[in-house]
Amino acid sequence: MTDFGDAIDFIGWYNNVSHKELGISKQDAFRLYLAYHEGHGGYRKQSYRSKDWLIDVARKVDRQAQQYNSQLQGVGRS
């Protein structure tokens, strides 16, 4: 596997653990990003709440995920 492939595999694994342990939807890029950045313990403690800059980044991640999802919905329709 490539370095990129390993990274994607790890993120998928981590998000799956976040889903199971924290109950975060696998489609919730905003909260998955916060859990990834802060760690599961930090997410549980809501340490991100005092970090406006991090919430802004998580919003950008969520918007990008929505854009990718929208693009994927259009694949094969033309």
- Percent of the chain residues topping a pLDDT of 90: 91
Q: Residue 13 is encoded by which pair of tokens?
A: 């694994």
Alpha-carbon distance of 77 to 60, in angstroms, equals 27
Structural domain of 52: 3-74
Q: Residue 58 is encoded by which pair of tokens?
A: 């998580």
At 1 the pLDDT is 63
Q: Count up the domains in the chain and report the number.
A: 1
Is the pTM value of this prediction over 0.85? Answer: yes
- pLDDT band at 75; cut points 50, 70, 90: confident
- pLDDT band at 20; cut points 50, 70, 90: very high
Residue identified by tokens 């998928």 is 12
Alpha-carbon distance of 43 to 30, in angstroms, equals 12
